[in-house]
Amino acid sequence: MTTPDKHTDKPAAAKRQRAKIRARAVNVYYGDKQALFQVALEVPHKQVTALIGPSGCGKSTFLRCINRMNDVIEGCRVEGELTIDGENVATLDPVALRARIGMVFQKPNPFPKSIYDNVAYGVRIHALAQNRKETDEIVRQSLARAGLEQEVASRLNDSATALSGGQQQRLCIARAIALQPDIILMDEPCSSLDPIATARIENLIAELSQNYTIVIVTHSMQQAARVSHRTVFFHLGRVVESGETTQIFTTPRRKQTERYITGRIG
Amino acid sequence: MSDDPQHINHTFDEELEKLNDMLLRMGSLVAQQLDAATATFSTEQNSKKGGGVQGRAKTMDEIAQREKALNELEQRVQEFAINLAALRQPMARDLRTIIVAMKVSDAFEAVGDHCASIAERGRSLAHSPYREQFGDIDKLRTSAAQMLQGVIECCRAWDATRALKAWQKDRHINALHDALLKDFSLFMAKKPESIASVVDFLSAVKYVERLGDRLKSIVEALHYAAEGETFAPPPLKQAALMAGARAEKGYKSSLRKTTAP
């Protein structure tokens, strides 16, 4: 295990939060190619952690380690230890693990079903409700938490694909939180949205961070600065620096971080 | 502005250079203001050879013009910096540079105002029977000019390593200010009829001391922009700084060499 130093992950003692996710010496290989090198970091509970870095730096690869999505990629091998609440994810049942971890992707991916069924789908699969009334309540609460309830209340049976891009993305967030996860992973959730829809999602992220641990991959430095409490900078498969978002964007400690966030390396 | 590689978007580098050029122009104008303002105390400038009344009027006119130019430049720096912050959304060192540029321009403008006030005092004392003694402001002028030069060099390179030398000059200025205050307090006690003139002179001395404080704040801001941390002199050098200040206190006043009329 590599010891986290001040440049990898060590929140200030005064503000230290319990680590929800802890990675130690995580290496990921796609066949012979190594994508992550000795990644060691902590993701605090009920905070937003942004992963930034140039394309191909390993931030999405790391995100997929958390819910073992890499398992479904042929030739992908993960080494090291990644724990959630102290439990090694490698030893958990992947289906149960993914029920605890919601995921929102770059492009909204609603099922070709009604708005109601999109949110109720996972609830039924995982038998989280005893009857229709309970399902209705979970759907309503999830849509409300995703800031979508008022907009779709009168058309729950309409097709989800008829919603706007921003609404579809919030529906995907509602679908994720309907399973009452501990963690929400977001992989560039606003990259296909306009500024208004982006602002709505960012507002939602701030609200959701009261109850969930959120890890977001973003290419927008401004978005990372706006929504996250902590920021991790990846480069060439390694964690170069992580820390409080304010510190990273005003006084990064590593030259490499500074050069990236000021637009001096691509 | 630093040894960092250029931005991928080169126009941002050009804009930062433009911002820096405006600050350097302000620094250059302030240096001229300081020279001209403290020269109003020189006996030569107040003599017929130095132009007499007409020469003084010309000097005051030039000082007023430079002050106007400084005010305009300060305004331009503020507007340009706000535009850069809004349009470029800078981060890290770029963000600190832009914020600090606004602070530096504000401080240079204030130093320019202090110089104008010094010049006013010099003009009002042109016919004072004690003007020979007021040449003592020259010692302060030398220290302030050296400090200003150091600040401009810091500003040219945004180089924190030069900051300490410029910063410590303020201690010399303070020490000289204290020594002048003490000497001229004794002088007023001996010659109560000099009080009106000496009070004017000491207020000019005070402006130089304040000007040193402003220059010090520029050094501290430039250090913050370059390093991302608050300026603090290294503890080991603290003793040397104090020793420097004590040495300055050993300055010999011309009052001890000349006889007041």
Distance CA(A198)–CA(A184), nearest Å, equals 17
Quick check: is A2 in a domain? Answer: no
Residue A176 covered by a domain = no
Please state, in angstroms and rounded to a whole number, the distance separating the CA atoms of residues B250 and B245: 9
Residue B261 placed within a domain: no
CATH number at residue B138: 1.20.58.220
In a domain, B5, yes or no: no
Number of domains within chain A: 1
Residues of chain A contacting residue B12, judged by C-beta atoms under 8 Å apart: 263
Cα distances from A51 to residues A89, A261, B32, in angstroms, run 20, 13, 51
Per-residue pLDDT of chain A (266 residues), as tens digits, is 333 343 444 444 434 568 999 999 999 999 999 999 999 999 999 999 999 999 999 999 999 999 999 999 999 999 999 999 999 999 999 999 998 999 999 999 999 999 999 999 999 998 999 999 999 999 999 999 899 999 999 999 999 999 999 999 999 999 999 999 999 999 999 998 888 889 989 999 999 999 999 999 999 999 999 999 999 999 999 999 999 999 999 999 999 999 999 998 75
Q: Which domain holds residue A241?
A: 13-109+181-261
Under 8 Å between Cβ of B88 and B15: yes
pLDDT by residue (tens digit) across B22-81?
999 999 999 999 999 999 887 666 555 555 677 778 889 999 999 999 999 999 999 999
Mean pLDDT score across all residues of chain B: 85
Q: What is the pLDDT of residues B140-152, one digit of tens each?
A: 899 999 999 999 9
Alpha carbons A153 and A167: distance in angstroms, whole number: 13
Nearest CA in chain B to A220: B89
**Consecutive H or E run containing B245:** helix B235-249
Q: How far is CA A170 from the centre of its chain?
A: 14
Query: What residue of B is the nearest CA neighbor of A225?
Result: B91
Residues 6+ apart with CB under 8 A from A171: A108, A110, A115, A118, A119, A143, A146, A148, A152, A160, A163
CB-neighbour burial class of residue A165 (10 A; exposed 0-12, middle 13-18, buried 19+): middle
Chain A positions contacting chain B at CB under 8 Å are 221-222, 225, 249-252, 257-259, 261-266
Which of B93, B228, B229 faces A262 most closely, judged by CB atoms?
Answer: B93
Residue A75 lies in a domain: yes
How many C-beta atoms lie closer than 10 Å to residue B155's C-beta?
Answer: 26
So what's the pLDDT on residue A4? 39
Q: What angle do CA A137, A138, A142 make, to 5 degrees?
A: 120
N- to C-terminal Cα separation, chain B:
53
d(CA A225, CA B89): 11
Bridge-based pairing state of the strands A230-235 and A183-187: unpaired
Contact A186/A216 with Cβ under 8 angstroms? yes
**pLDDT over 90 at B256, yes or no:** no
- How many domains in chain B? 1
Domain region containing B176: 10-256
A8 found inside a domain = no
Of A249, A265, A266, Cβ closest to residue B91: A249
CA distance, residue B92 to nearest chain A CA (Å): 4
Counted residue by residue, chain B has a size of: 261
Angle between helix axes B137-157 and B195-227 (nearest 10 degrees) is 20
Which positions in chain B have a beta carbon within 8 angstroms of at least one beta carbon in chain A? 4-9, 12, 89-96, 228-229
Determine the 3-state secondary structure of B234 from DSSP: coil
Task: Name the H helices within chain A.
Answer: 59-66, 94-100, 115-125, 132-145, 149-152, 165-177, 195-208, 221-227, 245-250, 255-261
| Long-range CB contacts for residues B48-56, cutoff 8 Å, separation at least 24 | B56/B123, B56/B126
Residue A156 located in a structural domain: no
Residues in chain A: 266
CATH number of the domain enclosing A36: 3.40.50.300
Q: Which residues of B touch A259 (CB under 8 A)?
A: 4-5
> Cβ of B12 and A263 within 8 Å?
yes
**Any idea of the CA torsion for A262, A265, B4, B8, to the nearest 10 degrees?**
-80
Among the partner-chain residues B12, B89, B92, the one whose CB lies closest to the CB of A258 is B92
Q: Do B8 and A263 touch (CB under 8 A)?
A: yes
Chain B's closest residue to A265, CA to CA, is: B8
Residue A132 lies in a domain: no
Residue A82 lies in a domain: yes
Structure tokens at A31: 């066949």
B56, B123 contact by CB (below 8 A):
yes
Residue type, B148: L
What are B217's two structure tokens?
Answer: 């704040």
For tokens 């050094």, the residue is B219
**Residues A159, A115: Cα–Cα separation, whole Å:** 6
Mutation target to probe the B interface, by most B beta carbons within 10 A, among A248, A258, A262 is: A262
Does the distance separating the beta carbons of B93 and A258 come in below 8 Å? yes
Mean pLDDT of B83-109: 95
Look at residue B194 and give its three-state secondary structure: helix
What does the block give as tokens for A186? 């977001």
Cβ neighbours for B242, distance < 8 A, ≥ 6 positions apart:
B171
Q: Yes or no: say if B136 and B255 are a contact pair by the CB < 8 Å rule.
A: yes
Q: Which residues of A touch B95 (CB under 8 A)?
A: 249-250
Nearest to B228 among A225, A251, A266 (CB): A251
* Cα–Cα distance, B221 to B219 (Å, whole number): 5
- Show the tokens assigned to A97: 């693990």
Closest to B4 (Cβ–Cβ): which among A251, A257, A259? A259
Task: Write out chain B residues lying below 8 Å of A240, CB-based.
Answer: none
